[in-house]
Amino acid sequence: AIKINLQVLKKNHNDFSENDRRRVDISESQVVRLEGILQELLDFAKPLQMQLHECSVNQILATCLDLVSAQFEQKNVSVISDFALDLPAIQGDTEKLSQAFLNVLLNAFNESPAGGKIWITSRCAPNAVNPGIDVRVDDEGNGILKKDLPNIFEPFFTTKVSGTGLGLTNVKRIVEAHGGSVEAANREPHGASFCVFLPL
């Protein structure tokens, strides 16, 4: 209700001063931020209810990139994607996997400098015991402190002033609910790398 009323005010701003418009813009952006925090808390608090069906990891990744493209362009962050064409379909929850990959992409985006690059790749992982698909996201940020690496998937652990510490926690919950795993590491010469494994 607050957001809708702010949006109505923005449409009828003829009598607003520049300062009034700025205050409405700030208020709307903070409501959007609160929505994001509440959604992360709700996702963490409620049990995961999976709707499994045959889905394409590449298609999910492409959709996620479309969703964040405008945001990335504002910061002039470019994405270099390299998706293997021979990926088999998996049994997964498209909505939940989209949420997980979006969180990883946005984490890389937040750590990236203006004008930086993010690489995202998908590959078959033809392990004889546990075959699956590897998705890797690399960024050019400052990387992860060695002392923080063991904790970054823990609930409420964050190095950001405004972070909830639940984004990567929810990534881990979703991936593990699919029988997979997620790992983080630093990359050379700088930046971080996240690798998601999803079994077939």
Least confident span in 46-50, 85-89, 95-99 = 46-50
Q: Which two tokens stand for residue 59?
A: 């298609």
What integer is the mean pLDDT of 51-72?
94
Between CA 137 and CA 139 the distance in angstroms is 7
CA distance 28 to 53: 37
Rounded to two decimals, what is the model's pTM? 0.78
Residues 153 and 169: beta-carbon distance below 8 Å: yes
Range among 18-22, 28-32, 38-42, 102-106 rated most confident: 102-106
Q: What is the mean predicted confidence (pLDDT) over 67-93?
A: 93
Q: Give the pair of three-digit tokens for residue 15.
A: 């009598």
CB 108 within 8 A of CB 141: yes
Measured on CA atoms in the order 170, 172, 178, 182, is the torsion positive or negative? positive
pLDDT confidence of residue 128: 67
Tokens 């971080």 correspond to 192
Under the banding of pLDDT at 50, 70 and 90, the label for residue 161 is low
Name the CA dihedral angle for 199, 155, 194, 73, rounded to a multiple of 10 degrees.
Answer: 120
- Tell me the residue type at 33: R
When pLDDT is averaged across residues 67-75 and rounded to a whole number, the result is 90
The model's pLDDT over 185-194, given as tens digits with 9 standing for 90+, comes to: 999 888 999 9
- Could you tell me which of 46, 65, 89, 99 has the C-alpha nearest to residue 198? 89
- What is the predicted pLDDT for the residue at 47? 78
Average pLDDT over residues 39-60: 86
Q: Could you give the 3-state DSSP secondary structure of residue 25?
A: helix
Most confident of 10-14, 62-66, 156-160: 62-66
Long-range pairs for 65-69: beta carbons < 8 A, 24 or more residues apart:
65/105, 65/120, 67/102, 68/102, 68/105, 68/106, 68/109
Greater model confidence, 128 or 52: 52
Q: Which of 69-73, 83-87, 158-162 has the lowest mean pLDDT?
A: 158-162
Residue 117 CA to chain centroid, in angstroms? Answer: 15
Q: Which amino acid appears at position 5 of this protein?
A: N
Q: Collapse the DSSP code of 198 into the 3-class scheme (helix H, G, I; strand E, B; otherwise coil) and give the result.
A: strand
Q: What is the pLDDT of residues 30-46, one digit of tens each?
A: 888 788 778 777 777 77
> Taking all residues of the chain, what is their mean pLDDT, rounded to a whole number?
88
Number of C-beta neighbours around residue 112 at 10 A: 23
